[in-house]
Amino acid sequence: MLEPIDFIKAKVIVELGPGSGCFTRVLLRNMREDSRLIVFEKNKDFCVQLEKIDDRRLTIRNDPAIYLGKYLEGINVDYITSGIPLANMPPDDTHALLSASYRTLSPQGIFIQFQYSLKAKKDLENVFDEVSLGFTLFNIPPAFIYSCLKK
C-alpha cells in the first residue's frame, strides 16, 4: 500500500479513512521530520484512538473525506492514501471524493487506493491521468492496490 510513496521527497501526505491508525503509524514512522500527515476520519471513536498518537506532524480532521478540499486549499499534497470502501459508496459520492482528491494533489502527485474488488477501476480511470493496479496476497482477504497519477 505504501510502496509508491517516496518518503524522502514527500512533504504532505493525506490519509483518508485511517480507522484506528494501522497505516497512520507506519506513515509517521517513515516520514521526514519536517513532513505533515493530515488524516480524515468521520468516525469520532476512531478519532479518539488517533488522538493518542503523539506526533506533532499529525493533523486529525473528524470530517468525511469528501470534504478534504475545504481543508487543503492551497496546500501542495504529494500523496493521498485511501482505504475507503468505494464499492459501498453512492456513485455521486465516489466521483466527488475522487475529483476532490485529484484537485488536491500536486502535479505528479499520487492517489493510492486499497480495495477488495476491481469495481473502482473505471471510476479511478475516469478521474486520474494514469492508473496502475497492484495486488497483495499477504492481506486477508487479498486486496487490490491502485496507484493513480496526476500529471
- Return per-residue pLDDT of the chain as tens, 151 residues: 788 999 999 999 999 999 999 999 999 999 999 999 999 999 999 999 999 999 999 999 999 999 999 999 889 999 999 999 998 999 999 999 999 999 999 999 999 999 988 889 999 999 999 999 998 876 677 789 999 999 9
Report if residue 85 sits inside a domain: yes
8, 31 contact by CB (below 8 A): no
Q: Residue 31 sits in a domain of what CATH number? A: 3.40.50.150
Q: What is the CA radius of gyration of the chain?
A: 14
Report if residue 4 sits inside a domain: no
Q: Residues 68, 71, 77, 80: is their CA dihedral positive or negative?
A: negative
Number of domains in the chain: 1
**Residues paired with 114 in a beta bridge:** 145
> End-to-end distance of the chain based on CA atoms, in angstroms?
21
Task: Supply the range of the domain harboring residue 125.
Answer: 12-149
Say what the pTM is. Answer: 0.94
Report if residue 3 sits inside a domain: no
